[in-house]
Amino acid sequence: MDAVDVIRTKRDRKALSDDQIDWVIDAYVRGEVADEQMAALAMAILLNGMDQGELARWTDAMIRSGERMDFSTLDRPTVDKHSTGGVGDKITLPLAPLVAACGAAVPQLSGRGLGHTGGTLDKLESIPGWRARLSNAEMLRVLRDVGAVICAAGEGLAPADRKLYALRDVTGTVESIPLIASSIMSKKIAEGTSALVLDVKVGSGAFMKNLDDARALAETMVRLGVDHGLRTRALLTDMSTPLGRTVGNALEVREAVEVLAGGGPRDVVELTLALAREMLSAAGLEGKDPADALADGSAMDVWRRMIAAQGGDPDASLPTARETHTVTAPATGVLTRLDAYAVGVAAWRLGAGRARKEDPVQAAAGVELHAKPGDRVRAGQPLLTLHTDTPERFPRALEALAGAYEITENPVGFTPSPLVLDRIGA
């Protein structure tokens, strides 16, 4: 076959055949299809979509590009969680040890930042010594000894997705529902976990901007999971405002540890517990309330053991930025809007994310939020603090924040959006 013919098929709004899909995925992994050709195909898919048959075959081809993992030797049920990506979304960090403390095994394969959204692995790498890359044997050992592991997908697990994931980040094709669904579900199905809970974000800071698109993505992924024998359910959650009070790598790790210590922002705690209860239910473990595991310190114990098992020092100081810049409230009143997308772009421009797939990220870069929608603020008080090691980045970050927040003197009938918007699946 020829890559150009495959690109033309989708460009012209026709369905790709099974043979075309099988060939282009395999040829891309082998290097026969170049990045620029796959980028063109990804853009054609973003613009013209895929039908259910195409999507199922594309996902299967990505799974078959590598190996399948097996956790059948573990003495506890396995359950995983995946977020479609948000701003300030550090939920995985407290969630994995929390669910493990309640009796499940959590093989959490995570990724790096995509566009304006943060990556769990980038965050954890701000902990001195922590390793994202583990062999399958190491991953299984940590799961058996600790109960939770957060790591990168192995080289042999859906290698087609690993290549395409990095390409989508730098070619403006992240938002495609078929590419998001197949990326997530190919890894999760190949991973071999027995249950999966999806956190599908909706709002300005998410890739799905409206509830209908988010629901379509959630239903697509739940269907793919169930069809492959994976117990799958999804929560639709609000991402119009950043989660928590920090956006960035080390900043978010610090906040996640606060949650594990029994504190932390209310919205982060609320979503962590909501997802933990879904995961425990999907795994058939409904006897223990995850709130108790936060309160009694058992979740923190698992966190410390998990970080140490992956080479990290849970007691080490986290990096802090060399430079900060504070944005103050221009008026007195109630903060009624704080746009998640704008804050995510600002953090990205400060160095928390990457513009090219080979770019490094700054561990200490990001944005600290001193107020959230619904809070009353006074003119001149700190609203946001920008963190970076390279102060020449401040002007462009400030450009991203222009018009990102609104303060109303006497808002009538204003209430912040609920965090959990809907639930998909059994």
**Active-site residue numbers?**
82, 161, 168, 183, 187
Q: Indicate the pairing of strand 195-202 with strand 231-238.
A: parallel
Q: What CA–CA distance (Å, rounded) separates 406 from 373? A: 9
Q: Determine the longest span between alpha carbons in the chain, in angstroms.
A: 65
Identify the bridge partners of residue 202 per DSSP, sorted by sequence position: 238
Q: What CA–CA distance (Å, rounded) separates 125 from 139? A: 17
Residue 379 CA: distances (Å) to CA of 31, 332, 335:
57, 5, 11
**DSSP single-letter state for residue 357:** T
Q: Which of 294, 312, 314 is nearest to 100 (CA)?
A: 294
Q: What CA–CA distance (Å, rounded) separates 353 from 218? A: 26
CB 303 within 8 A of CB 108: no
Q: What CA–CA distance (Å, rounded) separates 222 from 426? A: 10
Q: Indicate the pairing of strand 333-338 with strand 106-109.
A: unpaired
